[in-house]
Amino acid sequence: MIVATYNGPFWPLFLHVLGAMVLFGAVLAALAASVAGFRSAAFRSLLVAVPAWVLMRGGAAWVYSNGYSAVKNQTWLSLGMAIADGGLIVLLLAIGTAYWSQRTSSTLATRIAAGLSGVYLLLLAVAWLAMAGKWG
């Protein structure tokens, strides 16, 4: 992946991108497991997403403090930050329903967990598309 417009230190962006990719992978595993009816696997996959979210968000804050605060009004940056922060609610709801699904074997809970995982994947895709294309 060629990331050509960033001139700051290596580690903040590396950790941010790595966290985002692991987050995407963990939620993708949870979606696949939920759809296939593997309740425990879906819940455990979503637990992997939590440290990945911390890495992604911590890296973002570190990048931001290294010069990107000057362009905070750009659409791609505000959209990315809104999805990073607001998306946490969706992720936590997905974890909660996946736990409920695992404990009760409820079909409704499994469907909600799958739906929330799918929504979160879409949000992540919008964030990376906006940030890669430097929208606005």
End-to-end CA distance of the chain: 22
The residue (of 4 and 70) whose beta carbon lies closer to another protein is: 4
Which alpha helices (DSSP H) does the chain contain, by range?
Answer: 10-35, 39-64, 75-104, 107-133
Per-residue string for binding with another protein, 10-39, x by CB under 8 A?
x--xx--xx-xxx-xxx-xx--xx--x-x-
Q: Which residues, 67 to 126, sit near another protein by CB under 8 A?
A: 125
The residues near 59 (Cβ < 8 Å, ≥ 6 apart) are 12, 13, 14, 15, 16, 17, 18, 19
Among 3, 71, 89, 122, binds another protein (CB under 8 A): 3
Cα(53)–Cα(58) distance, integer angstroms? 8
Please give the residue ranges that form the binding site for another protein (CB under 8 A): 1-4, 6, 10, 13-14, 17-18, 20-22, 24-26, 28-29, 32-33, 36, 38, 40-41, 44-45, 48, 125, 128-129, 132-135
